[in-house]
Amino acid sequence: MLVERLEEFFAREEEPRERDYFYVSEVSKCPRQIYYSVKGFPRPPLDGQSARRMAVGDDVHRRIVGALFSMGIAVAAEVPLPPNPLFHGRADAIISLGGENFVVEIKSVHPYQFDQAVARPRRDHYLQLQLYLHYLDVPRGIILMENKANQALREFVVERDEETVRRVLEQFQDLHRLIFREGKLPPLPDKSEWEYDQCRYCPFTEFCIRDQMNPQPKEVEGKPGSFAPQAGADAGTETVQAQNERAREEAAEGEKGPSLPEEREPDARDLSLFDL
Ligand code: SF4
């Protein structure tokens, strides 16, 4: 009675939006999934439980950032990247400790992931922080994880790694050229580096399977380089759509499973993307 009404209240449609840049939160994403997202392919509605899970993550951010301000060490929160052609995003906070500034990236994680990340942070968290350190020109940052189950905290102090930043920027410049200048669908990725099977939670599986069966998808009339309906305007910062992707990722944390689409043999058109 009430549960159904609450589910309906929290569930929401996701409006497809086309854009010509990437989000920092996409740094470890499947490049095909990024393609479908930036091209505004439609995705299934977000169910109520995923929406509530995302709201819990947002609450963690608010609570921690509020504490940083109360402690008098927060310099800024929700700090946008300076304008650049590749990435949009907002760092959670910049704090000052002992006269040094740190970018703080707050992550609310599944207990399994919390237990796994003892010696080092998750790769996607590390790469996101590296991009913030680069664009905000801060030498060191902190990945602060909170265990969703018991609110335990863990931190990793991370130095800016110029070589890693260079490789990430190169790879995303390649991806930008492939998608926006050449209008091509990226090849299927090497999944061996994935921390979880992104295909299981991908909102674009249907299109990905279709494009494997028909590698030359028909362009939508009047939309060169586009293969699906498009709507909406550019967004300067992370949109609800991107946040919803985050909710799906959070649902994936700690889980492993079989890939949905079948792998095809790589061919000469495949680029060696995302092999960090
Ligand atoms: S189904 Fe898998 S390979 Fe295809 S776009 Fe989604 S995540 Fe990428």
CATH number, domain of 148, equals 3.90.320.10
- Report the separation in Å between the CA atom of 31 and the middle of ligand 1, taken as the mean of its atom positions: 8
Cβ of 158 below 6 Å from ligand 1: no
The structure tokens listed for 150 are 């018991």
Q: Is residue 6 part of a domain?
A: no
Residue 4 lies in a domain: no
Q: Is 209 in the pocket of ligand 1 (CB under 6 A)?
A: no
- The C-alpha atoms of residue 117 and residue 145 are separated, in whole angstroms, by 9
Q: Is residue 5 part of a domain?
A: no
Burial label, 39 (beta-carbon count in 10 A; 0-12, 13-18, 19+):
buried
Q: Does 64 contact ligand 1 (Cβ within 6 A)?
A: no
The mean pLDDT value for 90-112 works out to 96
Q: Which domain holds residue 74?
A: 18-276
Contact 133, 160 (CB under 8 A): yes
Residue 264 has pLDDT above 60, yes or no: no
Q: Decide if 12 is inside a domain.
A: no
- Domain membership flag for residue 214: yes
Looking at residue 13, what is its pLDDT?
A: 85
The total number of structural domains that make up the chain = 1
Helix 31-38 and helix 205-213: axis angle, to 10°?
110
Tell me if 204 CB under 6 Å of ligand 1: yes
Does a structural domain hold residue 3? no
Answer whether 252 contacts ligand 1 (Cβ < 6 A): no
Residue 9 falls inside a structural domain: no
4-37 pLDDT, tens digit per residue, is 999 999 998 878 889 999 999 999 999 999 999 9
Distance 32 CA to ligand 1 centre (A): 6
